[in-house]
Structure 1
Amino acid sequence: MHHIMIICPEDSPLKEADRWLSRYGFQVNLCYTLEQAKKYYELADFDLLLIDQAILALFTDNMSALEGTPPRLVLDARPSLNSGIDAMAMGAKYYLPLPTDSEHLLKHVIDALENTTPASKAKQTAEPEAIPPLLFARSEKEQEADNLGALDSGIIGNCEPMRELFSDIRKVASTDVTVLIRGESGTGKELVAKALHNLSTRHNNPLISVNCAAIPENLIESELFGHEKGAFTGAVSARDGLIYAADNGTLFLDEIGELPLEAQARLLRVLQEGEIRRVGAIQSTKVNVRLVTATHRDLIDMVRKGYFREDLYYRLYVMELLLPPLRERSDDISMIAKFLLEKACKKHNRVPLDYNKEFDKAIRAHNWPGNVRELENAIERAVILSPPHRIEAANLKLITHLSGSKTQQTTTKTSEQLTPLEGTTLDDYFKHFVLTHQHKMTETQLAQSLGISRKSLWERRQKLGIPKKVTNNK
């Protein structure tokens, strides 16, 4: 596998090349300054550098700044003849304008790698097995499919439930069927969606990811479907929606259970007719998208309660992929934790810390209600708080189980008292839901979960006499 280093400012269009080249099987690292790249990496170990001219412009002596580095491509957002001549004179293989498209860039990357310097060729001769030949088209996807579960694949796992999941991903990815990914929060549903896209025939086209819970209810239809100029207050110009942006690619709708009923009806039309209509528009536009959705909620239960359209549910439920929670992946927990420990050490510029037995025991003993996301945060916390040369389990700062405490007993008792019985009214359910969830959800989240506005939530509180959560200021 060829290793490529990209060095560019954070706002540079070259940053997108990280995603493009990774899809084609290259191992890519990204740094925002030349100093950062030299501090954390041995640039001589890379096969190719892609450098934004804005980085080189910071150095008066560019030749010495790049001394001892591998072949490089220089890309410039303000290309000029003089800059191009200077770049080529200082050893650049190519001087290209920014922005550039993926195919144009890939062509020059391949050419630069195949026409290496004598030193690079000597390295290849000495280590013939270290750099396999470039693999393209279907062979690349086959390689990525075989790599699912490995440390560099994005989705780590080797337990039986995960092996079954990887098998299903390989089978489903090559098709265009709609996929529903189910799993608890923090299990990695978006990673599964990315794997499906990267292994599909659409991998050269966009993957558009949308968190339905993060978009305000009054804007979600405009965000997804676009709008015409003057369609509503503030619509000063026409705008394409995110579904149109995913044309010929994949649309990933995370937290699909949070989608309002009106937007659900519009989405159903996209699935049935393959077309979208902007808010305020008369005519529809054809789109060709592969839909992947995810949720941690029970959609069938939401259908029963009228919060989710039954016809949309059956349109989404063509193929279902189940992500097991971390607590059911005991064989994987240590492997994931070791990987995250190494990642956290690099992120915070710490010397590598040994993964010791005490640390592993503490990790395995925890129930991980937040799954892999919670594990990553806990390990990062431990790396920051631990002494320089030893990782300490106490610094994970895991929330202690409170099963025997007065707080937990009170919570359990309250939950039992509020459990709705068969035949309760909608007002009873509303009151039960708010009292049960308001300690861990904001008013906006409560309103979204109930499918109503914040104003309606406030009015129903007044009508039913539901007290707001009390903040303890002691």
Structure 2
Amino acid sequence: MHHIMIICPEDSPLKDADRWLSRYGFQVNLSYSLEQANKYYELADFDLLLIDQVILAVLENTQTALAGTPPRLVLDARPSLNNGIDAMAMGAKYYLPLPTDSEQLLKHVIDALENTTPQHKQNAESEPELAAPLLFARSEKEEEAENLGALDSGIIGNCPPMRELFSDIRKVAGTDVTVLIRGESGTGKELVAKALHNLSTRHDNPLISVNCAAIPENLIESELFGHEKGAFTGAVSARDGLIFAADNGTLFLDEIGELPLEAQARLLRVLQEGEIRRVGAIQSTKVNVRLVTATHRDLIDMVRKGYFREDLYYRLYVMELLIPPLRERSDDISMIAKFLLEKACKKHNRAALDYNKEFDKAIRAHNWPGNVRELENAIERAVILSPTHRVEAANLKLASHLASPKANTTSAELSTPLDGTTLDDYFKHFVLTHQHKMTETQLAQSLGISRKSLWERRQKLGIPKKVTNDK
């Protein structure tokens, strides 16, 4: 752990850096004068000093007063060229204005710590030390962190909302805080979870991804927490769950809003106590996992309606990352489409097709309710259907979706009309009316669709699954 000393007057904006640097894992001490710092601490023991220029201005001999101290950053509420030159001449690593952007200050702190070996430590005769751990995940200097948004990074984007998202990912990745990722279906929530894991200190350990909505309700607890032999019919042997498999790594729970209340209670214990208990077991097992969750649902509304535990919500809502829908990323759509076109051509062994203006115009005109996933499917469709020399906009097959959004409704929906309601209204009414006495399979069969289609339409229309009261 790296030790930082902040020396500034009580009314200095630099004082606020104490709180947020501590959150990033630094050990920070705060003094209101150089005399106070020298009285209570040995400055040579620190790795870095952050000093307000006001403190230096009152020193009679700054060079002598700071002799033998570690590297320092000088921050000035009234920055000037002369002050900057003087500060750098007297050994400051950086000279920055106050107030300053916290991300920029953090970047300079990391750079000073990673690239400076203090003189007082160079001269100490001691055994060779192990390499210091990375300070901020794998830091913004690391290629992968810097590469967020590029074509080969997995998450493509350069519009302001995405740049803000990438900045937040870099800040959060190096911590162990629980992260809630929110965004519409198809926006790339799992890609964000992967980026958080890859940039974290846990990147050498597993990332376990679980779609909570894709696992049958009666098996979700066994899948997540494991079970003992004989815990239920079919449990012919003991089995570890997916949470245990993520030990020392990252657990990503997608569609956390679909987790049944019983499983929510168990997950809460994992967060509170750092332990899991298999279904049917008496003893608990300690685990160390970093939890990342995602949802497109309004969890606060689910809490109000009793579908989601309030105490779990506040455990999950430590840090939130918002992914903008594709329709709000107009500057990125063409860049993403070009990348997906090249990817589709390679996948289907087609010669590279030129991204033409007509094709781009059609893509930009669509609203993309399914976001990047819908865009990828449409482009793949166009590659398959277009002639060998040219990708044609008509083969995106978007017109029918725009003209008739209900074109894909099921035969069961069409066969049971309700006056004054849309087909979606009927679907929602049918599910909410019958789900308390039907299984998911029976509901799907009654509607003439698959269980997967039922789940997808639940997501689209925001229909919660039936819940069991937690008595």
Note the alpha carbon deviations across 1:154-194, whole angstroms, 9 max, x for none.
00000011001001000000100000000000000000000
Following superposition, the deviation at residue 205 of structure 1 comes to 0.5
Following superposition, the deviation at residue 452 of structure 1 comes to 3.0
Contact 1:141 1:199 in 2 (8 A): no
Following superposition, the deviation at residue 400 of structure 1 comes to 3.3
Residue 160 (structure 2) pairs with residue 198 (structure 1) = no
1:165 matched residue in structure 2: 165
1:357 matched residue in structure 2: 357
Contact 1:165 1:321 in 2 (8 A): yes
Separation (CA, whole Å) in 1 of partners of 2:182 and 2:362: 28
2:185 aligned counterpart, secondary structure: coil
2:184 matched residue in structure 1: 184
Contact 1:141 1:198 in 2 (8 A): no
- 1:330 counterpart letter in structure 2: S
Following superposition, the deviation at residue 439 of structure 1 comes to 9.1
Following superposition, the deviation at residue 403 of structure 1 comes to 7.1
Following superposition, the deviation at residue 142 of structure 1 comes to 2.1
Distance 1:439 1:305, change over 3 A: farther
Q: Extract unaligned runs of 5+ from structure 2.
A: 1-132, 410-416, 437-442
1:213 aligned counterpart, secondary structure: coil
Residue 157 (structure 2) pairs with residue 143 (structure 1) = no
Contact 1:344 1:383 in 2 (8 A): yes
- 1:402 counterpart letter in structure 2: A
Distance 1:406 1:400, change over 3 A: closer
1:402 matched residue in structure 2: 403
1:372 matched residue in structure 2: 372
- 1:334 counterpart letter in structure 2: S
Separation (CA, whole Å) in 2 of partners of 1:369 and 1:330: 14
Distance 1:140 1:299, change over 3 A: closer
Separation (CA, whole Å) in 1 of partners of 2:332 and 2:418: 32
Separation (CA, whole Å) in 1 of partners of 2:312 and 2:283: 23
> Aligned ranges for residues 1-400 of structure 1 at < 5 Å?
138=138, 142-398=142-398, 399-400=400-401
Following superposition, the deviation at residue 413 of structure 1 comes to 5.2
1:464 matched residue in structure 2: none
Separation (CA, whole Å) in 2 of partners of 1:417 and 1:388: 40
2:432 matched residue in structure 1: 430
1:321 aligned counterpart, secondary structure: strand
Note the alpha carbon deviations across 1:130-164, whole angstroms, 9 max, x for none.
xxxxxx96469721111100000000000011001
Aligned alpha-carbon RMSD (Å): 3.4
Separation (CA, whole Å) in 2 of partners of 1:387 and 1:401: 24
Distance 1:284 1:383, change over 3 A: same
1:252 aligned counterpart, secondary structure: strand
Following superposition, the deviation at residue 305 of structure 1 comes to 1.0
2:358 aligned counterpart, secondary structure: helix
Distance 1:372 1:412, change over 3 A: farther
Distance 1:413 1:328, change over 3 A: farther
Separation (CA, whole Å) in 2 of partners of 1:357 and 1:447: 37
Following superposition, the deviation at residue 447 of structure 1 comes to 8.8
Q: TM-score, normalised by structure 2?
A: 0.60
Number of aligned residues: 311
Q: In the alignment, which of 409, 414, 419 is matched to residue 421 of structure 2?
A: 414
Separation (CA, whole Å) in 1 of partners of 2:422 and 2:317: 32
Following superposition, the deviation at residue 393 of structure 1 comes to 0.3
Distance 1:393 1:417, change over 3 A: closer
Separation (CA, whole Å) in 2 of partners of 1:404 and 1:292: 34
Note the alpha carbon deviations across 1:69-113, whole angstroms, 9 max, x for none.
xxxxxxxxxxxxxxxxxxxxxxxxxxxxxxxxxxxxxxxxxxxxx
Separation (CA, whole Å) in 2 of partners of 1:235 and 1:404: 45
- 1:430 counterpart letter in structure 2: L
1:452 matched residue in structure 2: 466
Q: Extract unaligned runs of 5+ from structure 1.
A: 1-135, 420-426, 457-474
1:400 aligned counterpart, secondary structure: helix
- 1:359 counterpart letter in structure 2: F
* Structure label with greater radius of gyration: 2
Q: TM-score, normalised by structure 1?
A: 0.60
Separation (CA, whole Å) in 1 of partners of 2:402 and 2:420: 17
Separation (CA, whole Å) in 1 of partners of 2:228 and 2:318: 33
2:332 aligned counterpart, secondary structure: helix
Separation (CA, whole Å) in 1 of partners of 2:363 and 2:280: 53
Following superposition, the deviation at residue 402 of structure 1 comes to 3.2
Separation (CA, whole Å) in 1 of partners of 2:141 and 2:227: 36
Contact 2:148 2:156 in 1 (8 A): yes
2:283 aligned counterpart, secondary structure: coil
Note the alpha carbon deviations across 1:395-415, whole angstroms, 9 max, x for none.
00113323799999x999515
Contact 1:353 1:390 in 2 (8 A): yes
Distance 1:411 1:298, change over 3 A: farther
